[in-house]
Structure formats: C-alpha cells, structure tokens
Amino acid sequence: MELLRSRAELEAWRRSRAGGPLHFVPTMGALHPGHQSLVHAASSDAASSVLVSVFVNPLQFGPQEDFERYPRCLDADLTCAAQAGAQALFAPSVAELYPEGEQELTRLMPAESLQQVLCGRRRPGHFNGVATVVARLLGLVRPDALFLGEKDWQQLVILRRLVEDLGLPVQVVGCPTLREPDGLAMSSRNRYLSSEGRQRATALPLHLRQAADACLQRREINLGPLCQDLASQLEQAGLVVDYVEAVCPQSLQPRRQLTGLTLLAAAVHCGPSRLIDHTFLMSRAPIVAIDGPAGAGKSTVTRAFAERLALIYLDTGAMYRAVTWLVQHSGVDAREAAQVAPLLENLDLQLSTAAGGSQRVSVNGHDVTEAIRSPEVTAQVSVVAAHGCVREALTRQQQAMGQRGGLVAEGRDIGTAVFPDAELKIFLTATVSERARRRALDLAQRGFEVPEMADLEAQIAERDHLDSTREVAPLTQAEDAIEVITDGLSIEAVIEQLVQLFRQRVPHDAWPGG
Ligand code: AMP
C-alpha cells in the first residue's frame, strides 16, 4: 500500500504499476465500511489496481458549512483502504491539487437542470466544486473506471453526465449504499452525532422505507402529499427537515405522480450533522425491454442478462414460435388469419424454467422447446406473428406476465407495444452479414444443414423487411430505446454493456444484484 502525497508521486506510481485496468475511488476520507465496499467493488477484477484518493475539497463547502471541522484521519484511512484491498492512496494537500490557487482554477459547472433540485438547490456551488475536483482528479489519475456510491445519488447523476458531456474515456460504476444494522446509511458525518442524535437519525431511513413500501402495487400516487407526510413524520421524530423531494432518478426533474421508478430523497439536520438519504419508489419491480431484428443474439444475451440480475426471462419470440408450431401441427394455412384465430381461443402456452435454468416451452400440453427452433418454424414465424389476432393474444398474455415486473422481455415490439413503460429499452442489432454468419454457426451446432451465406443473408434481409413493414406492431426502435450494435463484440461484452445501462437507470437500492 503506497501513500502518494504529490502529483509527481502519483505519476511515478502510475508508471510503475503492473498492467491491468486502473480503478479509482475518490473520497473525502474518514473512511468507513461504505467506502470500503467501493474499494471491494473496484478490486473484484483481480487484474485491476485500485487507487483511493482522500481530499477534503474546499470548493464544495459553503461558507457556513463544515469544511474546517470535517474529520481528517489519514493514518486510519491508510489502514482502512489497505484492508479493503487498495494498492495506493493519493492524499494531496489543497496547494498540491490547486497549485495556482483557487482563484486561478478552471472550474466546471454541471447542467443547471441537475443542480436546481435536492442538495444542489440548498448548497449553491456545491456541485460545481464536486465536478471541478473530480475532473481534476480524473485528469491526474486517468483511471479506466470511476467507482461512486449511489448514496450520493445526485452527485452520481451529475458525474455520469460530466463524463458523458466531456467525452472522458472512463467507465462510471455506481455502487450500493452500505447501511448500519438499524438502517442508517454510513457516512463520515455520522461521527458528529451524539448517542441520542444517533438514535434519532434512524427515523430518516425508517420513514423513507415505509413510504417506499406503501407504494408497492399501488397506482395513482400523488407525490406532493406523500412528501409532505414524510416531512412531518421526520419533524415529529425530532429531525429538522431541509427538503423532501420526489424526482425522476435520471433527469432529476420533479415528479408529481408515481410514473415509473422515482427517487424520493430527503436531507435533514440532526444536531450538528446534515444527513441525506433516499429510497426509490415504484409500483412494480423493474422491466427491461430488449428488441431488435432476428439473429442479433438477443436470446443468448437476454438469458444471461436475466440470470445475472435475477430477472425473469420472458422469451416472447419463443411464444410466437410456439403458436407457429401449433399452426403447422394443426394443418391450417398459416397465411390465413381466419384459420389461425380459432387456435388462440383455448391456447395454453407456458414458459417455465427447468432445473439448471434452461427455459421450457409448452403449448397445449406439448413440450415444444426444441421443435420451435426448427428451420420450418423459423421460416413461418414472421407470417404467423404478422396476424393481428396472434399479436393481440400474446401481447395480452405478456402484459399479464409483467404485471409485477421483475422481468426482461425480448422480442420485436416489447418497448413499443408490450411494455412501453419499461425502465430500460434496448434495441439490440447487428449488420445483416454478421447475423448471417451467426445463424450459420448456430444451424451447424444444432446439426441442421447450413445454406449458402448469400442465401442466409437474403433470408435475414427478407425477414427484417417482413418484420418492419407488417401492419400490426412492426419492428421499430422505440424513441427512448438505446441502440446497441453487437458486431465484433463478444457475448460477455454485450452483457456487460447491458448491465451498465441497467444500473444507470435502476440502482442497486431499487433492484439489488448483478
Ligand atoms: P465521501 O467521502 O463522503 O465524499 O464519499 C466518497 C464516496 O463514497 C462517494 O462516491 C460516496 O457516494 C461513497 N459513499 C459514502 N458513503 C457510502 C455508503 N454508506 N455506502 C456506499 N458508498 C458510500
């Protein structure tokens, strides 16, 4: 474990360290297990080295705030960071980090819209100071990944945007909030609390959690009264409320109604400490919609993604295939909606997960898991899926399956028609030639005959055309979907990208795991 006090020492350490990614955990010191959990997350990849910084940044404290008395305990911090697995600790003085003085410093100013709510509104200039120091540190450390706590949610959102807007080549990883056994979020400022104050402080997480629990499975929640009620409860518990606000977790814009995942955040004064905490309100568990053309690798990626985040995997393509299989086995003409419709009346279509995690598909009591992958079914599935009656029946069934959320659904119109309110919408795609190459590999592995590449490409292009021009729910990218082009990416790389996108929208606090 190395202690680096100057920029020169930092640069020398950067050069001497073994290869592998450099992971960075910026802090203001007075390290506690919450900070340590960030270091653990940063060192979960064995090849990486982890640098922690300790710097009490004067730029982010207001004139009446606790800059002077903020706890400083470098020796204990060194031990704490080393125990958690950090390789180095960068602890510059103010003069070392701002050698020309604060007056001469180039400063950053995050978007006004992200600053005019929550702590930004009550602490003018605070996030300018945070953005300025973090940008400065990123320039000096030049890490591959930056680890930040979800505990300071507004800070996390602002720094993600900073990295995006400045095009900085660093991945931002949000980490879950560590709490004391009684629920109080760990914070360096908890040290200021008297034992009586410490008791009182537990009302903050308690009432936040109760407000969140009350929202589950409810529709039509007015957030204004909910915030007022919460503020009164906190005041009654002896805390001085600075704010209680409900906002969109990404844009941080105020919300009046519970429409989708919502951040409920509060700041209170408890004796000498200003404490912040938050929870996420949701009426159902999160939903992820993954759409895209055939052969883009959706099923493989979605299955693994679902497993990683403990979401239920809803393979809607398998449902359309199962109906296609039924149509073919009933001897009716797949092109005739009037012949297909009666089959849907008593349709018993089940998706289940077998031991070992593999998904089984059954239709009217027949296990069709393998049969629906045959070239015959593949050849006709678009025709069957294009019938309005088929889409309506399956969309209804899918929406019923998604009522409680907690799932990832994959298909062609999930983000547009089935779950338009999904928390994350992905449009997963790849070029026609890449998809043809993958289809050939897949067919060969399954023991089917492999057509010429040109024919495969033509088939895929034809299917794209059918899927995107059909009248009912054509394959289109939802306006708010994120396009992920998978050419040249390994399956693991795609999954990793999806997990990151998920985490930008759905924090650990709202859906743990992954
Ligand atoms: P600070 O030293 O308070 O500036 O925090 C440094 C980093 O640690 C920030 O990214 C915080 O969000 C994070 N952090 C602080 N407290 C906790 C906690 N209880 N659990 C997880 N992360 C935390």
Beta-bridged to residue 483, according to DSSP, are: 427
Q: Are 475 and 289 in contact (CB under 8 A)?
A: no
- pLDDT > 90? residue 16: yes
Judged by phi (left if over 0) then psi (alpha if -120 to 50, else beta), residue 241 lies in: beta
Predicted confidence (pLDDT) per residue in 134-193, tens digit = 999 999 999 999 999 999 999 999 999 999 999 999 999 999 999 999 999 999 999 989
38 lines ligand 1 (CB under 6 A): yes
Mean pLDDT of the chain: 93
pLDDT at 468 over 90: no
- Tens digit of each residue's pLDDT (9 = 90 or more) over 25-80: 999 999 999 999 999 999 998 899 999 999 999 999 999 899 999 999 999 999 99
Does the Cβ of 470 fall within 6 Å of ligand 1? no
Predicted confidence at residue 476, as pLDDT, reads 85
Q: Taking the model in full, what pTM does it have?
A: 0.86
Q: How far does the centroid of ligand 1 lie from the alpha carbon of residue 304, in Å? A: 30
Length of the chain: 514
35 catalytic residue (yes or no): yes
Q: Whose CA is nearest to atom 13 of ligand 1?
A: 149
Nearest residue (CA) to ligand 1, atom 18: 34
Measured distance CA(28)–CA(54) in Å, rounded: 5
State the pLDDT at residue 298: 87
Are 256 and 376 a contacting pair, CB within 8 Å? no
**Pocket of ligand 1, candidates 35, 119, 277: which has the most ligand atoms within 8 Å of its Cβ, to mutate?**
35
Q: Which atom of ligand 1 is nearest to the CA of 152?
A: 12
Which of 23, 35, 207, 387 is flagged as catalytic?
35
User: In this structure, are strands 407-411 and 287-291 parallel, antiparallel, or unpaired?
Assistant: parallel
Tell me how many degrees the CA angle 453-459-461 measures, rounded to the nearest 5.
100
pLDDT at 354 over 90: no
Return the pLDDT at 15. Answer: 94
Distance, in Å, from the CA atom of 104 to the CA atom of 357, rounded to the nearest integer, reads 59
Predicted pLDDT at 359: 79
pLDDT computed for residue 299 by the predictor: 85
Cβ–ligand 1 contact at 151 (below 6 Å): yes
Flag the least confident range among 82-86, 265-269, 377-381.
377-381
Per-residue model confidence (pLDDT) at position 342:
95
- The residues facing 274 across adjacent strands are 269
Evaluate: CB of 129 within 6 angstroms of ligand 1. no
| CB of 187 sitting under 6 A from ligand 1 | yes
